[in-house]
Every structure is written in structure tokens, then in C-alpha cells.
Amino acid sequence: MKSCSITEFQTKPSIFKELDLVAVVDKRSNKKLGYFISSKYEDLIQNIIKKIEKEEKIEKLKRLKNHQDLEFLELGVD
């Protein structure tokens, strides 16, 4: 995977057309800022994001249900 800085993107915008996946880095602080992924993978990425969000919501609902069950047990309500 190729790494590019912000200034490289500004000076050579054709990088977006040439590459599918690029790590965006801040060369001054030597940190990764994120990734650029080509739009041709948008459908695949959207499906993955939806799946992850669904799993997170299910996990939150399970934790909430367990918490409510514990509150009812403390009150003595069945």
C-alpha cells in the first residue's frame, strides 16, 4: 500500500485516479491520518459498515436488556 501526504494530494490530484488504496500520512508528526479508498469499492464498504453497525446495535440492546433485567431483580419484579 502506498503512503501519501496531504501536500502530495494537493500537488498531484491524479493519485486518486491511479491508486485504489492509499494511506494518508502527516509527514511532520509521522502519523497516519486515515485511508483513501477508491469509490469503486463503495458498495462493498457500505455493506461492511452496515453489518458492523447492526452488530454494535444488537450488542448495545443485549447490554441494555441485561441491565434492565438486573434492575427488575433488585426491585423484586418478575
**pLDDT tens, position by position, for the chain (78 residues)?**
788 888 888 898 888 788 888 899 998 888 999 988 888 889 999 999 999 999 999 999 888 888 777 666 666 655
- Report pLDDT for 46: 94
pTM of the model: 0.55
What is the C-alpha to C-alpha distance for residues 61 and 58, in angstroms, rounded to an integer?
5
Domain ranges of the chain: 2-37, 41-75
Contacts of 36 (CB under 8 A, 6+ apart): 4, 16, 19, 21, 22, 24
